[in-house]
Amino acid sequence: MDDFYRELIIERYKSPRFQGTLDPHDFSYEDDNPACGDHIQIDVRLNEEGEVTEALFSGQGCAISQASADLLLESIIGKNIEEIKSLDKDDVLENLGIELGPVRLKCALLPLKVLKAGVYGLGDGNPLE
C-alpha cells in the first residue's frame, strides 16, 4: 500500500506545485472521466520557439489523476510541441512510479489525454460542448 500511494503521489495530491489557471494562454483544454468524476483542465504558455514556459492544471478527482497531472506538467516545462506529442502511457507511468490496473490507468492518463488534445491544435475547448 505504501507502494501504491507513494509519498510522492500523496504529496503531489495534497500540495500540487502546478495547480491553477493561466490567462493568457497559448492553449487550454479540459476533459473528464464520467465514470468517476475526475476532471482536468490544462493551460499552457509557449515561447517563440514553441517551448513550454508555463503549464498549470485545475480540476478535481482522485489522487492518481491529480498527482499524475502535477507530475506531467512538471515534466513538460521546456519541452516543445513535438516532444509533447510523443509522450505516452509509459511516460505517465514512469512519472508515477507504480503499476496500475485498467480502471486506475484511466485516471492516470486523463491529464495526458487533455494535454495532447490541447497540443493537437484543438485550441480552447472541451469535447463535451
Partner 1 sequence: MASNGASSFENGLIRDDFPILKREVHPGVPLIYLDSAATSQKPLPVIEVMSQYYRDYNANIHRGIHALAEEATAAYENARQRIAAFVRAPSPEELIFTRNTTESINLVANTWGRKYLQADDMILLTMMEHHSNLVPWQLLADQLDLRLEFIPVTSQGLLDLDEYQRLLKLGPKLVSITHMSNVLGTINPLEEILPAAKEAGAVTLVDGAQSVPHFPVNLSQLQADFYAFSAHKMLGPTGIGALYGRRELLEDMPPFLGGGEMIKRVELRKFTPNDLPHKFEAGTPAIAEAIGFGAAVDYLTQIGMDEIEKHEKKITGYALEKLSLIQDLEILGPGIEERGGVISFFIQDIHAHDVAQILDSVGIAVRAGHHCAQPLHDHYNLSATSRASFYLYNTEDEVDRLVEGIAKVKSIFA
- Binding residues (CB under 8 A) for partner 1: these are 1, 4-5, 10, 13-14, 34-38, 60-64, 103-104, 107
Three cell numbers, residue 89: 502511457
- Closer by beta carbon to partner 1, 23 or else 35: 35
Compute φ and ψ for 84, nearest 5 degrees.
Answer: -65, -40
- Closer by beta carbon to partner 1, 45 or else 106: 106
Smallest distance from partner 1 to CB 129, Å: 18
> Rounded to an integer, what distance in angstroms lies between the CA atom of residue 68 and that of residue 112?
9
Smallest distance from partner 1 to CB 1, Å: 4
- DSSP, collapsed to helix, strand or coil, labels residue 43 as strand
CA 75 vs CA 60, 107, 128: distances in Å: 20, 18, 27
Angle value at C-alpha 78, between 74 and 81, nearest 5 degrees: 100
- Closer by beta carbon to partner 1, 98 or else 122: 98
Smallest distance from partner 1 to CB 12, Å: 13
Smallest distance from partner 1 to CB 5, Å: 6
- Closer by beta carbon to partner 1, 13 or else 57: 13
**Amino acid occupying residue 50:** G
